[in-house]
Amino acid sequence: MTPLALQLAVEESKVTPGLLGFVVVAAIAVATWLLLKSMNKQLKRVDFDEDGKPGATADRAAEPERDKGAPVA
């Protein structure tokens, strides 16, 4: 009777990813393509001001900060 390890041993040169490996890689490729397509669609919707208004940041800096912590007794 041969040991179980020898019965289950597989030659490494004969092991291939097979159909399952191809399907997994193909699914990842399709998912990546769909995500990139969606990202490009969302980025086209973004509306930004290329000039950059310097007054907009100054207005925010002039506003007092609100205390968001616990009240001090």
The reported pLDDT for the residue numbered 9 is: 74
Instruction: Say which DSSP state 48 is in.
Output: -
Instruction: Compute CA distances 34 → 24, 29, 39, 43, whole Å.
Output: 15, 9, 9, 14
Quick: pLDDT tens for 31-65: 999 999 999 999 999 887 777 666 555 555 555 66
pTM metric for this prediction: 0.49
Burial class (CB in 10 A: 0-12, 13-18, 19+), 55: exposed
Is the model's pLDDT at 21 over the cut of 70? yes
